[in-house]
Structure 1
């Protein structure tokens, strides 16, 4: 394999590389010393220098030629008026990198960061980390005792973190800890939900763009938004407050005042200035739940505030500024709201970069069990007592919780309330089978009106045609219940598990999907037809 040529890119050191007369050889000069290491051959040095240091660069070139004639030195003039100005230095190095004919297949590049101002060294580091300089960092150091001809030492640093096992493992652990934090340590089992939280963790750390959380009421949008804020604050990426508001509570003229503030006298009753929630969220995170409930005027003002970080308080001619992160929540399909003219298309496009749909509890029944443990632990911490479900009680509760009969209309709010009731009634910290039976009966009563409403909404004739009139009432009621479960399930297997939750436990190899498919076929129906309808 052909050995690559070694190429060093670095600045001439106006102090470290200087020297005149024979005494200069008694001094350690980083750039010259690079070529004095017997075990290393430097094929070429791209020696950058600012305008007035041309003579020094030429002196260094001649000295290198005398100790390492095989090293080619190319002095390259760059124009930096102020070597301590970050913008100037970075822009100059960027232009150099864009125009330089890098040949990584045949050449190996070492970026020398010992010389130059601290700003120069930082910019060299950043350019290498971003791979504008496709090489490794080179750090040199003088000998411990100044001795003529001693070149000191050098270290090569590869910024490809994937090559460092310990660092990679720490990043992996930190990412896993971030994911666990967003889930409050709940060992969720739903693969789709877990994959979504994995991505949210990465986006929350790396992106400042708005995030849109969709999902039904009680799916955990507000809870997740607060955890994202706490995660960013723990990583020192944010230091302002967490400010949240349910936009459904903002009505009429007060909506603009609540969000954007107002000045004294802006309207009747405005007795003093009000900063508004957007200014309260400066350097923090603003969570606008049910953003679809905002009026069109407030939507226009919000768009300007997101894009320009400034806006007019109500009644003011002067703009104010607020630099905040935004998470929006909604239980509506905003794309349909745009079509209907109730939501601005430009605002939707602005907040739709990172959109996540949080599934309801019925879509992730396997997560009910770990959430019960979390809620019991939370209750125990708040009330200084340990509360547990005994084996029989847990089985009875889980059989009901994962059945088609369990509506979970309020999603995790319903589950939280249910667990809190059982824990409160528990004697000596034990939730018994009797307590569970009473709770199941209570939930059935709470959800009874949902069952009645849904039964009335189902149009069997529209689904079956003339065949619907030929069904016995028993078959019609049973089929209607099955269809409702199918419509609320994500897959055929998911629907089968809900419908046959009890009887499947008696089978060695239950095939819920096949069982449901055969039942539907009796009426000439298929899974795809039901989902489509």
Structure 2
């Protein structure tokens, strides 16, 4: 049998009393050693110097009622026993210095005596396992009844309580299911990643980095992380998503950090900026690698200090937010190339999660098809379903290794949405599936055969879809010339050679610069984006 070791305060009032009449009232520290069904082998009694005489009396009485109990005294002087910082610090030091022997001793932390602050501190230290024991609370005897009263023991090891353990397991499963949008995914690696995301999301407000190809679900996951934290009252502010690929130059600074009136062209009023809009909330910077090095430095300062300068301001403003960053490129490689700040990458790389594309999660295609069908029914009276044969044909195509799914889950969602919208009488037929398959195959072949699309996507990201076909052809050629030229002026001379020959152009570099600005680009972006 292990020995029972009790740890507690000497009660200044509850354990008081002198002379024979002291036995007429209930004294919890003495009563602790009078329990018929629990022998206290050792009592570690804590008191301050002003209680030495009182402690001697209590110890003598314990020896009288329980001679088998050894009493050790520990003098801890506290200026204010109601000051949480002082009390917790003193008891934390006591626990660190204490020699615990769990193989031979069971520890009981006596909560009946001491201030309410001390009781809270005992709870925290025991729950955190600084004290590897259980909590003990004594109750006085009922009115007119003699005796030491009775006691209750509380074990804070939640794994020993089946119903509680099941409840917490269910809550965690709900959290991971929520992050997966309720989709019964089968991919082992993806499920393991979501489990870890759930753990980190509810325990940390440090930055998170989501790496994955376009359409892998980074934006959706970031939104759901925010929703999960909001449901647990861990954030109070808004969720602010930002596609960094659409931000260039002064516009990037103004959009993110705000500006003062007149600080930039056309700034007729002050602008708060998106980082201030995210105060006490979450900001999601998708394609963060598209930001310039100056913007990256300002982001790092804002994350670490919660403060930043709006454009044109001499005074910092404050905004405390959690950052979730998204990228579809290898940031470590960009750091080695000098295109991404090493210090910002180090800050983001604490929690990095890689989202696999659809081709790496083919076992999850079927539940995602069902999810997209159900999402289309939300708020609608009509239901759309896939005919049995149509379902087999579509899934066979979707899971085939030759299916590219270049847009990943975004492609899949768009595909289901098209068929859902056109379905006659709410049923998607085999003919419709065949038409959709042909459309996707044509789309993917066109993307592979269109070098302009890939080139422009490197520079503009998703914003390339907003370009007219004429601008796509023209801008792609301009980018190629820029990459083959040693300077802005050299590129301008190459592009506007005919105009120069006719003396219709006097400043080719300025003309090229203005052309690039139409698309939010500058020379550095055009030259070094590949």
- Place the TM-score, normalised by the shorter chain, in its bin: 0.7 to 0.9
> Which secondary structure state, in structure 2, belongs to the residue aligned with residue 428 of structure 1?
helix
The equivalent of 1:78 in structure 2 is 76
Tell me the distance in 2 between the aligned counterparts of 1:447 and 1:114.
Answer: 73
* Equivalent residue in structure 2 for 1:65, among 63, 67, 82: 63
Tell me the distance in 2 between the aligned counterparts of 1:67 and 1:237.
Answer: 51
* 1:274 Cα deviation from its structure 2 partner: 2.7
Q: 2:250, 2:264 within 8 Å by CA — same for their partners in 1?
A: no
The equivalent of 2:39 in structure 1 is 41
Query: Is 2:10 aligned against 1:6?
Result: no
The equivalent of 2:101 in structure 1 is 103
The equivalent of 1:241 in structure 2 is 238
> Which secondary structure state, in structure 2, belongs to the residue aligned with residue 263 of structure 1?
coil
* Equivalent residue in structure 1 for 2:160, among 160, 163, 187: 163
Query: Is 2:170 aligned against 1:173?
Result: yes
Tell me the distance in 2 between the aligned counterparts of 1:26 and 1:270.
Answer: 82
Tell me the distance in 2 between the aligned counterparts of 1:443 and 1:307.
Answer: 45
Larger mean Cα displacement after TM superposition, 58-67 or 203-212: 58-67
Larger mean Cα displacement after TM superposition, 191-200 or 61-70: 61-70
Q: Counterparts in 2 of 1:307-322, with a 5 A limit?
A: 307-322=304-319
The equivalent of 1:481 in structure 2 is none
* 1:308 Cα deviation from its structure 2 partner: 2.3
TM-score w.r.t. the length of structure 2 is 0.82
Query: Is 2:337 aligned against 1:340?
Result: yes
Tell me the distance in 2 between the aligned counterparts of 1:441 and 1:391.
Answer: 20
* Equivalent residue in structure 1 for 2:377, among 374, 377, 380: 380
* 1:183 Cα deviation from its structure 2 partner: 0.9
1:252/1:231 Cα in 2 relative to 1: closer, same or farther (>3 Å)?
Answer: same
* 1:265 Cα deviation from its structure 2 partner: 4.3
Larger mean Cα displacement after TM superposition, 349-358 or 274-283: 274-283
The equivalent of 1:437 in structure 2 is 434
The equivalent of 1:129 in structure 2 is 127
The equivalent of 1:227 in structure 2 is 224
> Which secondary structure state, in structure 2, belongs to the residue aligned with residue 102 of structure 1?
coil
Tell me the distance in 2 between the aligned counterparts of 1:244 and 1:146.
Answer: 68
* 1:312 Cα deviation from its structure 2 partner: 2.6
Larger mean Cα displacement after TM superposition, 57-66 or 105-114: 57-66
* Equivalent residue in structure 2 for 1:324, among 321, 324, 333: 321
The equivalent of 2:505 in structure 1 is none
Q: 1:84, 1:119 within 8 Å by CA — same for their partners in 2?
A: yes
The equivalent of 2:180 in structure 1 is 183
Tell me the distance in 2 between the aligned counterparts of 1:225 and 1:51.
Answer: 56
> Which secondary structure state, in structure 1, belongs to the residue aligned with residue 378 of structure 2?
helix
* Equivalent residue in structure 1 for 2:421, among 421, 424, 430: 424
The equivalent of 1:204 in structure 2 is 201
Unpaired segments ≥5 residues, structure 1? 458-533
* Equivalent residue in structure 1 for 2:190, among 190, 193, 205: 193
* Equivalent residue in structure 1 for 2:392, among 377, 395, 399: 395
Q: Any idea what the Cα deviations from partners look like across 1:93-135, whole Å, max 9, x if unmatched?
A: 1111111222222222111112212211111111111111121
> Which secondary structure state, in structure 2, belongs to the residue aligned with residue 272 of structure 1?
coil
1:147/1:370 Cα in 2 relative to 1: closer, same or farther (>3 Å)?
Answer: same
1:252/1:73 Cα in 2 relative to 1: closer, same or farther (>3 Å)?
Answer: same
Tell me the distance in 1 between the aligned counterparts of 2:145 and 2:290.
Answer: 76
Q: 1:387, 1:423 within 8 Å by CA — same for their partners in 2?
A: yes
The equivalent of 1:22 in structure 2 is 20
* 1:288 Cα deviation from its structure 2 partner: 0.8
The equivalent of 1:274 in structure 2 is 271
Query: Is 2:214 aligned against 1:217?
Result: yes
Tell me the distance in 1 between the aligned counterparts of 2:450 and 2:251.
Answer: 35
Tell me the distance in 2 between the aligned counterparts of 1:156 and 1:104.
Answer: 17
The equivalent of 2:477 in structure 1 is none
1:439/1:314 Cα in 2 relative to 1: closer, same or farther (>3 Å)?
Answer: same
Q: Any idea what the Cα deviations from partners look like across 1:471-528, whole Å, max 9, x if unmatched?
A: xxxxxxxxxxxxxxxxxxxxxxxxxxxxxxxxxxxxxxxxxxxxxxxxxxxxxxxxxx
Tell me the distance in 2 between the aligned counterparts of 1:51 and 1:310.
Answer: 48
1:391/1:295 Cα in 2 relative to 1: closer, same or farther (>3 Å)?
Answer: same
1:146/1:53 Cα in 2 relative to 1: closer, same or farther (>3 Å)?
Answer: farther
The equivalent of 2:256 in structure 1 is 259
Tell me the distance in 1 between the aligned counterparts of 2:336 and 2:318.
Answer: 32
Tell me the distance in 2 between the aligned counterparts of 1:12 and 1:351.
Answer: 50
Unpaired segments ≥5 residues, structure 2? 455-530
Larger mean Cα displacement after TM superposition, 374-383 or 348-357: 374-383
Q: Any idea what the Cα deviations from partners look like across 1:75-110, whole Å, max 9, x if unmatched?
A: 211132222222111111111111122222222211
* 1:218 Cα deviation from its structure 2 partner: 0.7
The equivalent of 2:85 in structure 1 is 87
Tell me the distance in 2 between the aligned counterparts of 1:24 and 1:162.
Answer: 42
* 1:322 Cα deviation from its structure 2 partner: 2.3
The equivalent of 2:29 in structure 1 is 31
Larger mean Cα displacement after TM superposition, 271-280 or 415-424: 271-280
> Which secondary structure state, in structure 2, belongs to the residue aligned with residue 101 of structure 1?
coil
> Which secondary structure state, in structure 1, belongs to the residue aligned with residue 249 of structure 2?
coil
Q: 1:400, 1:440 within 8 Å by CA — same for their partners in 2?
A: yes
1:317/1:415 Cα in 2 relative to 1: closer, same or farther (>3 Å)?
Answer: same
Query: Is 2:394 aligned against 1:409?
Result: no
Tell me the distance in 2 between the aligned counterparts of 1:56 and 1:345.
Answer: 63
1:25/1:207 Cα in 2 relative to 1: closer, same or farther (>3 Å)?
Answer: same
> Which secondary structure state, in structure 2, belongs to the residue aligned with residue 253 of structure 1?
helix
The equivalent of 2:484 in structure 1 is none
Tell me the distance in 2 between the aligned counterparts of 1:250 and 1:451.
Answer: 27
Q: Any idea what the Cα deviations from partners look like across 1:268-324, whole Å, max 9, x if unmatched?
A: 444433332222222211111111111111211221222222223333333333221
Q: C-alpha root-mean-square deviation of aligned residues, in Å?
A: 1.8
The equivalent of 2:281 in structure 1 is 284
